[in-house]
Structure 1
């Protein structure tokens, strides 16, 4: 639209300039022609006193400006419009106070200008349409490349390390989009290397800690009964759990985990797991469904969500199965705003009103495992009077024929 508007303004300005220039040029040509005709008529009149070319001597209708010029002994031309039609006059002083003059109507002048205006309008419209079409083609191509670049950039931000913006935008064109794609790819490569290095360091540290921590747990079990021994065993077990969680987070960050998918009857699976993980929690089935998932990873997600609800929330803890959607709700103070805004973050246990045991890795692991399963895990706070935090897991539903019997 901007290019079309600019094209229209430029075409209008050029049309006005051309119209005025053509009008002035044709008027000057008409003046010169009349001046030449009056000179020819004057020479013939002086030689044989005969008037030709409709010339007149001392014409009473001679315009006042020409009378004034003749009084000064000047030869002149004058254009007078009658009913919008230009009339070109010319006069020339003669001896004995005589003035020879003639005039001629120029209907062709108005017609030529009208035709010229039509051509200018048609040309201007053609220029505007051509400019708009060209702008749509060029701008559309640039816009498509930018949209493809945006989609690829979102994929990179979503954790797909193999996606490259320059490949997504298509053929190489030396324009701003190509420069932007190159810059984004370089940034993605640099960030990927840094994240990989951090993940590798974290995994190496956790791996090296497993052996001494295992030994520490074993040694703690050999301590004589008593309160000090119980505290040592408890802290040693917590340290072992932390090391295992850090290793799991490192593996999930590496995007190398693969799920072993199988069809699972979700209601029965949830009932059995909840009885073992959190017997005090209630299970409600709104709608049965079979899901395509990895049971081991799904159990890990459910366990972490229940542990988070029991540890940071407040009873009763409710588990709802609604088709392929699994919800875990507590009745505590709810998730902190930073978690709802930014998502789970490792070693961040939330605000003080949800403080307690744990290292902030449970929801991080649950989110990573959900990503491996191709599921989505969302967090929100209940908006009713009871309050509480709600974690909602949406699993891929299995496509089963109605004739298939549950296993």
Structure 2
């Protein structure tokens, strides 16, 4: 039997919900905490919130370092200019008065040809001026000059030491900024990891709830009152409300099925007492349908309550499948390869195979083919295939593929999925590329209780 390529398959996995322990019931006020698995590759993902927070901290640190560095650089630069002007003016006064002292590094000149044109332009009669000459960055000078009686007396001081000190200060600021970033970024990533771990716990719990584990809770409690704590509390509240509603629905279904059994048995007995005839056969047929529906509802209620337990025994898988198909009374071609043995519950496996074959005839088209290869069983028909909603969401109870009943399917696939969960098998639903629905039971894919 041909099956579709792996890339075209859309499957529905089963997930078993652990029934509550009557001796150790869960505490709703202090639910167990779930540990979010850490993916090593996520630590290197630049889109991770961890690195976004670290980058934001680094950007803030750089902004602060640049602001402080510019302020320190400007302040130091202005201070060195002020000190140079004061020293140059003092040396100029000493040279003008002929007094000794003054800065020994200052040199005086009265030759206009030796003075810079810009300094000569700024010098006015009876006015002392200073000018910082940085036309040569490597040889800065501070000039002080005065014009008196037609002559200009100028003094210049070497500012190279101040320039080199300022450059050294800038280098130290850059090095200190880089050292601070080397410390701040890991610390920011570490602090962000604490929030990331809580968010991963929230996401993991939500995925568990979506997968069917209604007992999953984050368990944040009242220890944290931040936004993540509020989200955790909201998720736990939502899960509790969802669980209560689903349990109420399951109890209602079970109660209805149990209440219907007594009048149904009376109806069956009454139908058997009716005289033979066409009307009697019609009544008996409808009563049989109603009886099957009630039995299905009871079976679903037991599956929902987690009361079903598998009884695993070694069985010839091919023989069990052939007998299951034969008991349905429906035509189907069975192909068994190598007649494998399997450790499973034959009664529940029979229920799964029978439901899949009946569903293939009811909603598909012949020929219906059943193949057994190893511990994998494939049931295929040649009809329109499973609807997209089934492939995306899985079986839904009280839905069929008939247009008059709306979209979806009935109880057969829901029961098959639940029984597969009990025996620890995986049940996949897919559509073949050339048409038809394909249901695959993998006995080795599940976990035995």
TM value normalised by structure 1: 0.85
Structure 1 residue 251 displacement after superposition: 2.3
In the aligned structure 2, how far is the partner of 1:354 from the partner of 1:310?
Answer: 18
Report the equivalent of 2:367: 316
Distance 1:33 1:291, change over 3 A: farther
Say which structure, 1 or 2, has more relative contact order (CA 8 Å, 6+ apart).
2
Report the equivalent of 2:418: 368
Distance 1:244 1:51, change over 3 A: closer
Deviations 1:172-211 (A, max 9, x none): 5544333222111110001111111111112111111110
In the aligned structure 2, how far is the partner of 1:246 from the partner of 1:297?
Answer: 16
Report the equivalent of 2:110: 58
Structure 1 residue 353 displacement after superposition: 10
Report the equivalent of 1:135: 188
Report the equivalent of 2:299: 248
What value does the CA root-mean-square deviation take over the aligned residues?
A: 3.0
387, 390, 395: which one aligns with 2:438: 390
Find the residue that maps to 1:328 and give its secondary structure: strand
Structure 1 residue 76 displacement after superposition: 1.8
66, 69, 73: which one aligns with 1:15: 69
Report the equivalent of 1:83: 136
Structure 1 residue 86 displacement after superposition: 0.9
Report the equivalent of 1:213: 264
188, 197, 201: which one aligns with 2:248: 197
In the aligned structure 2, how far is the partner of 1:52 from the partner of 1:150?
Answer: 73
Distance 1:287 1:151, change over 3 A: farther
Distance 1:151 1:57, change over 3 A: closer
Return 5+ residue gaps in structure 2 as ranges.
1-50
Name the larger-Rg structure: 1
Kept after mapping to 2: 8 A contact 1:320/1:326:
yes
In the aligned structure 2, how far is the partner of 1:20 from the partner of 1:292?
Answer: 83
Q: How many residues align?
A: 389
In the aligned structure 1, how far is the partner of 2:185 from the partner of 2:95?
Answer: 56
Q: How does 1:4-403 map to 2 (within 5 A)?
A: 4-42=58-96, 44-45=97-98, 53=104, 54=106, 56=108, 58-60=110-112, 61-84=114-137, 85-94=139-148, 96-166=149-219, 172-278=223-329, 280-286=331-337, 288-352=339-403, 360-384=410-434, 387-396=435-444
Distance 1:321 1:395, change over 3 A: same
Report the equivalent of 2:48: none
Report the equivalent of 1:402: none
Kept after mapping to 2: 8 A contact 1:69/1:75:
no
Find the residue that maps to 2:444 and give its secondary structure: coil
Find the residue that maps to 2:366 and give its secondary structure: coil
Structure 1 residue 41 displacement after superposition: 3.7
Return 5+ residue gaps in structure 1 as ranges.
400-407
Distance 1:199 1:15, change over 3 A: same
Structure 1 residue 350 displacement after superposition: 1.1
In the aligned structure 2, how far is the partner of 1:145 from the partner of 1:51?
Answer: 70
Kept after mapping to 1: 8 A contact 2:95/2:108:
no
Kept after mapping to 1: 8 A contact 2:396/2:409:
no
TM value normalised by structure 2: 0.78
Kept after mapping to 1: 8 A contact 2:91/2:102:
no
Distance 1:10 1:258, change over 3 A: farther
